[in-house]
Amino acid sequence: MERRKLGESVGIRDDLIQKACSIAMAAHNSPATTFLLDKPHNSSHAIFAFAGSWSVDDWFAHKSFGDSNINLSLFPSLRSIGNDQTAVINRAFLRQFETVLRTSPLSYEVTRAVTEKKQIVFTGHSSGGPVAILASIWLLEQHLQLDSDEQITPFCVTFGSPLVGDRVFGHALRRENWSHHFVHFVMRYDIIPRILLAPLTSIERELPEILQIFNPTSNYFGLESIGKTREASVFFSTVVRNISSVASHAACSFMGCTNLLLEAVTSFIELSPYRPFGTYVFCTGNGKLVIVKNPDAVLQILFYCVQLGHGLELDETAYRSLKEHLLYETELQESLEMQDVVNLDHPEEVPLYLESGATDEMKSVDMALNDLGLSTRARLCICAAREFEKQKLRNQAKINSYYSKIEDGLNRIHGYRATCEVHEVGYYDAFKIQREQRDFNTNLKRVDLAGMWDEIIEMLRRYELPDGFEVQKEWVELGTKYRCLVEPIEIANYYRHSMNQGLGPYLIKGRPKRYRYNQRWFEHIHRMTAESCSASCFWAEVEELCSETSNRTFEEMKRRVLGLEREVLRWVSSGELRRDVFFEESTFVKWWMTLPRLHRSGSCIARLMDGKGTNFPNLPTSS
């Protein structure tokens, strides 16, 4: 087990962590201030600390879990690319950040600190943590949009922060390689980081009074008597019961449970959507620190380490779960002095029980896990979570073995297209007619490639590949080549069998996920708007216009025709369409020649439509 100091393990200096904690607690005690800024004149850092809020409406925007889709105009990266799922976030916390951004000098001060090349740290205690998290992502998004070569590495350090977003939220941050910027400190029994795993309906009676314990302007601030009431015990028990449901369901999922009851449960029991992300540092309460990065393992620890310990009564544990929320500064100071840090990044080094002859290092690890109250069952769940991550890597290795096979298949189809062009026929039309043996062979290769890509897409749909797979340059490029070369004959196959008559237009009902996913990868990595690189679907639009020509007048179709012609000009200029599109026997040319003569004579693509593609090299520029 690797043993390093805390700062070395999480990537941020110990003194900055301690400073961030101190300022975060100062902000907590100054709720009237939007944020505190620590930026001494000669220092290398700028620390932004956000205050929390203690109204229930600032924790739950509505009943249930208070969740809503993220604001993609502010956070465009927070989505699953291929699955096209928008991240879910706590609406109340998002609203608080949007207010801070709109009404405070945050944007100005951050820009100034970036210009001065300061090490930027966002921090917050309690509900100030989510605001710090969103400020960090906002800065990372801003830097991405500037397309700057200059590296910017903001850090976000939270203390006792509640959860913020769902699985897609964390997936997107890991995919963008941003997750390591976030470090979350959690005391063993602190209930606040777990509070959003329970629906508001289950805790709405006790929550207002509980929150006032942490409100520095309240008469109940730090009042121990509230923590020892029956209401506090009920509150604690309710939250833990809900954590149990979420953690158990998650464990069944990553352990590969196939019991249909697993899915049935979620149809009548609403589980919290929120999940951990980033690096978690669990404080045992006696100076030791346990670091965990695997989000599934973190969720299990959040549940198992609040179980009643030996000799602890429910009332005592409930009181401790509230008291510890205000002890981060004291605990962190002791931990930084001790530097007794255990990193659980390696599943094989998580001891299920201590064997005779164990090394001193393994004894230390076992002792730290005992201090967190992690039972054998808890450790098995942690190991299973790590194994699930390993399985993702094995899946990636399997997929990587397809890479050369896919390249070979694309080379064969590329050769097919070249052969068709020699015979003055486009490969779309040749494939659709299916007269030659080479057409049949190409169809077999299309089916073979589809099988490999469908397996990849299914793994992505179930999140069974590493989070960064969809932005791996080599796969984005291969997927783009596949989509541009093979989708035209996919469309030809669709209309050759008249599938549009039974299912509807290809683009609406017939387009396979393998092409949609690949297109979204390309658009994401090049920061393009959705559905803006659709040249591979050109033939689908042509086929639909062909079928509509006999039923509708030109005036009814004119707008679509003009739009397609403008797109054709753009795609030819960018090299996305080839000269075979303009051969005399092309489906496109035959259809276009049926349009009114007056329209054709003034068309922006008239020069290209000689039936031979001879004007192809001398393209007019798009206006």
d(CA 44, CA 582): 62
Phi, psi of 157 (to 5 degrees): -120, 115
Task: Tell me, yes or no, if 524 is annotated catalytic.
Answer: no
Contact 415, 476 (CB under 8 A): no
- The backbone torsions φ and ψ at residue 529, rounded to the nearest 5 degrees and listed phi first, read -70, 155
Cβ neighbours of 405 (radius 10 Å): 12
The one catalytic residue in 190, 340, 429, 439 is: 190
With contact defined as beta carbons under 8 Å apart, do 202 and 242 qualify? yes
Q: To 5 degrees, how large is the angle CA 178–CA 181–CA 182?
A: 110
Question: Tokens at residue 595, please?
Answer: 């349009």
User: Among residues 125, 184, 325, 524, which one is catalytic?
Assistant: 325
Helices (H), 325-423: 328-338, 360-371, 376-400, 403-422
429 assigned to active site:
no
Q: Which of 332, 301, 325 has the alpha carbon at shortest distance from 161?
A: 325
* Spatial separation of the C-alpha atoms in residues 359 and 277, rounded to whole Å: 31
d(CA 12, CA 399): 35
For residue 374, give every residue at least 6 positions away whose Cβ sits within 8 Å of its Cβ, in sequence order, or none.
Answer: 301, 304, 305, 382
Active site residue 126: yes
- Cβ-based neighbours of 58, under 8 Å, separated by 6 or more: 92, 96, 127
- Where in 435-488 does DSSP place strands (E)? none
Residue 37's H or E segment, with its range, is strand 35-38
Q: Which helix H or strand E contains 341, and what residues bound it?
A: strand 340-343
Helix axes 473-496, 403-422, angle to 10 degrees: 50
Distance separating alpha carbons of residues 507 and 541, to the nearest angstrom: 8
Contact assessment for residue 106 and residue 154, using Cβ atoms and an 8 Å cutoff: no
Residue 533 sits at φ, ψ, to 5 deg, of -125, 70
Residue 6's contacts (CB-CB under 8 Å, 6 or more residues apart) are 14, 17, 281, 289, 291, 335, 336, 339, 341
State phi, psi for 561 to the nearest 5 degrees: -60, -50
- Active site residue ranges: 126, 190, 325
